[in-house]
Amino acid sequence: MTFKEHYQYYLYFQQNKWCRRMHILGQFATIVYVVGVITTQMWWFLLLAPFVIYPFAWTGHIVFEKNKPLAWKGIEDYGVTTLKAKVCDWIMLKDMLTGKLK
């Protein structure tokens, strides 16, 4: 599966606008968290930055989308990796901010 195909597959699981909004809220929370870590110079807290989005994203999936996040599914079944999901999150943020996605 190409990355473009993977991104389309990823978007299939983010069809609900509130689920997408929860992902975006999580991305902004991650940015604020990283800025806070840099400001306080507590560098080892940067290791936790990739996990800030999960409560937001998982709430979006469970409450609004009514599906399981791809992170919960078998990697071997779907070709999904955590890194790919993270990249897709940031691409979705860019696409929503630029109006490419509603």
Torsion 1-75-97-51 (CA) sign: negative
pTM, entire model: 0.85
Q: Which residue type sits at 11?
A: L
Q: Evaluate whether 24 touches 93 at the Cβ level (below 8 Å).
A: yes
Q: Any idea where the domains of the chain sit in the sequence?
A: 3-97
**What is the enclosing helix (H) or strand (E) of 26?**
helix 17-40
Q: How does DSSP classify residue 17?
A: H
- pLDDT tens digit sequence for 21-80: 999 999 999 999 999 999 999 999 999 998 999 999 999 999 999 998 876 765 445 555
* Residue among 35, 9, 2 at smallest CA distance from 92: 9
